[in-house]
Structure 1
Amino acid sequence: MHRNVTPTGVPAGTDHPLEVRPVTSKRDLKRFITLPRQIYAGLEGFVAPFDIEQSSLLHPKRAAIFQHADIQYFLAWRGGKAVGRIAAIMDSVAIQHWQGPIGQFGALDCLPEQAVVDSLLNAAEKWLRARGATTMRGPYTLSCNGETGIMVEGQLAPPTLAMPWHPKGLGDCLERAGFTKTKDLLSYRLDLTPDLQERFKTPGQIKMGEGRFRDITTRPMVKKEIVTQAETLRQLYNDAWSQKDNFIPLQSHEMAALMKQISPLLKPEHYVQIDRKGEPLAMALVLPNLHDITGDLNGDPSPLGWVKFGYRMMRHRFTSARVTLLGVSHKVRGTMLGALLPSLAIMELIKRADRMPYKWVELGWIQEDDSGMRNLAESLVPKAHKCHRVYEKPLD
């Protein structure tokens, strides 16, 4: 289905005035959370996420980020109908880590109509300025540890967990509004073909537990130890990503909330932790793609839909997954071992492929200037199939 638009790209029937208002009621909060599946319905490539999933990301009583961030939601209205949304975010953890009053925006969703985009950005900018922000960066939902960037390529690719979807042209609207690109985040589709293990070779065919690497071992996820392992994962993630642009340290309460959401999806083979003499040095986490079992249920399933969802979850009816949180400790960064660890982690996951039902996995996202990770991904997949872009604007 394609929307009826004017030659300038503006949807037909937009003669009513625009108004942007802060979200202050429970009714508008629900509208804010569910808005993408309403405004994007029928657009080619869009698959509606579950309302309950979006609520865990956005509801002030459920999203862990509200414990350390001041956030205001805005809705754009036209003719009594909500046509866009945005969040303005002042995150105390981000401000401390970035060492400056950098405000963020996120949950930006609307059709690529410049007037709507400008109105939403202006509302968020005014709110951030009033709280001392000198820079506006995003979009994030609601943190760079969550859904990040505007999708600028890959709208027709299959959706994956925690990767935002936007219509083509929305990024162009941000650039016309004065925002400039800070970083592209790339994702690669890796088909799990029978010959993959043979095709993917670690340098020198290094094997963990042998020779110079006899002290290098792997550790799977153990359900009984998931709380302890989650904290180890958080610390290793913060260590591994500390030098990356736009990084914000993941807080313990955020990890606890994340594990509560994803633990029903996880199996021991989904997690690789590489240790040296018992000390964690690298990790990789595979998340089953929730869209595989929810894509045909819309965002708000019927009672029968919930029965189907429960059955599919119980039977683990997933056909794809996303490799995320792949990182290496700073203790070995810049060494030969540090350079090898991502390959060893991916090789370990490939070895486990016969225990996982997935036909393909997504490697992402990877920052465009991370040559090591890009070389690793592109040794398996020549070209990225998705690109998400982060923007920034000075508030002088």
Structure 2
Amino acid sequence: MPLLEVTTPALRRQFLDLPARIYQNHPNWISPLDHDIEAVFDPKRNHNFTHGEAIRWVLTSPTSGEVIGRVAAFINHETPQTDPTLPVGGLGFFECIDDQAAANELFDAARQWLGQRGLAAMDGPINFGERDRFWGLLVSGFTEPNYGMFYHPPYYQQLFETYGFEVFFKQYTCYREVATHLHPTFSRAFEKYAQQYPTFRFEHANKRDAEKLARDFHHVYNLAWANHSGVNPMPLEKARELVKEMKPVLDERLLWFAYHQDEPVAFFVSLPELNQIFKHVGRNFNLWGKLRFLWEKRKYMQRTDKKLFGVIFGVVPEWQGKGIESALMVHARAEFMRAGYSEIEMNWIGDFNPRMLALTRSIGARIYKTHVTYRFLFDRTRPFERSPIIR
């Protein structure tokens, strides 16, 4: 089957258009913005190109010439490798008709390209960027996707596993109604830290002070997350970029921080669930799309049954297990309700993070969707090991 590297505007358009055909009979599918997909492959907008490289292909039918599949492969040379004998690359943005031979062509292309560059395995489907978006294969909970998360048809799981991919880890999206009562232990933690004000304080962000928001996020993120397998430390400039990107859609009442003597020690960062807006806007974020977005956002923010999604939660190691996260949840929940949010989905809780899973259970959340990050070892005789558990 002809495999074409995406190097022209016409091929880029075919790469972007394929999902609309694959998902035409999937009413829960919400298309990602073309703008967001293209940003991943633009060296001017994706800083990972400064220490990495990426390639993407479309696969066409040998009879009709119609595009029937797509995939990308990438290397980030600064991604921490837990095992120096097993350098790992990435495969992502996979879409394909229900045909194992076609899927194999796409997987083979990524495998060969990565192998030629000295890699010994590939993880997929993942993003050429941060883990907060375009990461993992949906295998359970085929409901409307949250912004930045892919929806996939059920048959993709078989395409991956038949080829030989094995589960490296699972990522759960958990759901709860905001009004659901928290366990009494949360209130006790709230009261404990309230008695220590102002040594300890809990505040939502002020979006008018973007620099403080970026610095506080950067501080907690690097202490709480940057030592995890496959997670790079975040430069302050990247944190500033994230805040700048979020600002048009940010609701400051959804970004909560805990402070000890003015040092940020925990955060719970959430956003309005943007796909509830974008599903009325479409894929094209041109001038008309932006105007439509502003109108739909205005209507959505006036509702009292809004959905938010948890982007990231973290506690610096020194304060883990001491109730900081419980007190933070009490503060956040009260503000969410005042702001008219009735549902919350918490993205990206790895099965390698039992503490976070325990916390979600403790607040009455249930697993709602499951994405899988697969790994394929190029040496098929090498024993496979799953992602290590965070202790």
* Distance in 2 (alpha carbons) for counterparts of 1:23 and 1:280: 44
* Aligned residue among 91, 111, 120 for 2:76: 91
Structure 2 match to 1:183: 169
* Distance in 1 (alpha carbons) for counterparts of 2:245 and 2:230: 24
Q: Residue by residue, what CA displacement relative to the aligned partner does 1:121-179 show, whole Å, maximum 9, x if unpaired?
A: 10011110111101111221223423211011111x23212222111021221111111
Structure 1 match to 2:139: 152
* Aligned residue among 331, 340, 354 for 2:318: 331
* Aligned residue among 272, 276, 282 for 1:298: 282
* Distance in 2 (alpha carbons) for counterparts of 1:167 and 1:38: 12
Structure 1 match to 2:248: 264
Structure 1 match to 2:383: none
Shift of 1:209: 4.2
Structure 1 match to 2:60: 77
Question: Contact conserved, 1:50 with 1:298, CA < 8 A, in 2?
Answer: yes
Shift of 1:116: 2.0
Q: TM-score, normalization: structure 1?
A: 0.85
* Distance in 1 (alpha carbons) for counterparts of 2:101 and 2:342: 42
* Distance in 2 (alpha carbons) for counterparts of 1:56 and 1:207: 45
* Distance in 1 (alpha carbons) for counterparts of 2:266 and 2:280: 36
* Aligned residue among 75, 81, 90 for 1:104: 90
Structure 1 match to 2:214: 230
Does the C-alpha gap of structure 1 residues 218 and 212 become closer, same or farther in structure 2, counting only changes over 3 Å? closer
* Aligned residue among 30, 42, 62 for 2:25: 42
* Aligned residue among 151, 158, 161 for 1:172: 158
Does the C-alpha gap of structure 1 residues 304 and 138 become closer, same or farther in structure 2, counting only changes over 3 Å? closer
Q: How does 1:10-25 map to 2 (within 5 A)?
A: 18-25=1-8
Question: Contact conserved, 1:282 with 1:341, CA < 8 A, in 2?
Answer: yes
Residue identity matched to 1:347: V
Question: SS of the counterpart of 2:68?
Answer: strand
Shift of 1:198: 5.7
Question: SS of the counterpart of 2:45?
Answer: coil
* Distance in 1 (alpha carbons) for counterparts of 2:346 and 2:272: 12
Does the C-alpha gap of structure 1 residues 118 and 253 become closer, same or farther in structure 2, counting only changes over 3 Å? farther
Shift of 1:260: 2.9
Query: Is 1:141 equivalent to 2:127 in the alignment?
Result: yes
Q: Which moved more, 1:92-101 or 1:285-294?
A: 92-101
Residue identity matched to 2:72: A
Residue identity matched to 2:44: K
* Distance in 2 (alpha carbons) for counterparts of 1:382 and 1:282: 20
Residue identity matched to 2:295: Y
Identity of aligned residues (%): 22
Question: Contact conserved, 1:64 with 1:257, CA < 8 A, in 2?
Answer: no
Structure 2 match to 1:9: none
Question: Contact conserved, 1:95 with 1:102, CA < 8 A, in 2?
Answer: no
Question: Contact conserved, 2:80 with 2:230, CA < 8 A, in 1?
Answer: no
* Distance in 2 (alpha carbons) for counterparts of 1:177 and 1:198: 44
Structure 2 match to 1:369: 352
Query: Is 1:255 equivalent to 2:239 in the alignment?
Result: yes
Question: SS of the counterpart of 2:147?
Answer: coil
Give the CA RMSD over aligned residues: 2.6
* Distance in 2 (alpha carbons) for counterparts of 1:105 and 1:268: 34
- Could you tell me which runs of 5 or more consecutive residues in structure 2 were left unpaired when the two chains were aligned: 380-391
* Distance in 1 (alpha carbons) for counterparts of 2:49 and 2:242: 14
Does the C-alpha gap of structure 1 residues 110 and 252 become closer, same or farther in structure 2, counting only changes over 3 Å? farther
Shift of 1:45: 1.9
Structure 1 match to 2:266: 282
Structure 1 match to 2:336: 353
Q: Residue by residue, what CA displacement relative to the aligned partner does 1:22-76 show, whole Å, maximum 9, x if unpaired?
A: 1111222233234323432222421122222333344343233223321111111
Structure 2 match to 1:127: 113
Shift of 1:363: 1.4
Does the C-alpha gap of structure 1 residues 116 and 259 become closer, same or farther in structure 2, counting only changes over 3 Å? farther
Does the C-alpha gap of structure 1 residues 229 and 350 become closer, same or farther in structure 2, counting only changes over 3 Å? same
* Distance in 1 (alpha carbons) for counterparts of 2:307 and 2:65: 40
Question: SS of the counterpart of 1:122?
Answer: helix
* Distance in 1 (alpha carbons) for counterparts of 2:314 and 2:18: 34
* Aligned residue among 48, 51, 56 for 2:39: 56
- Could you tell me which runs of 5 or more consecutive residues in structure 1 were left unpaired when the two chains were aligned: 1-17
Question: Contact conserved, 2:257 with 2:265, CA < 8 A, in 1?
Answer: yes
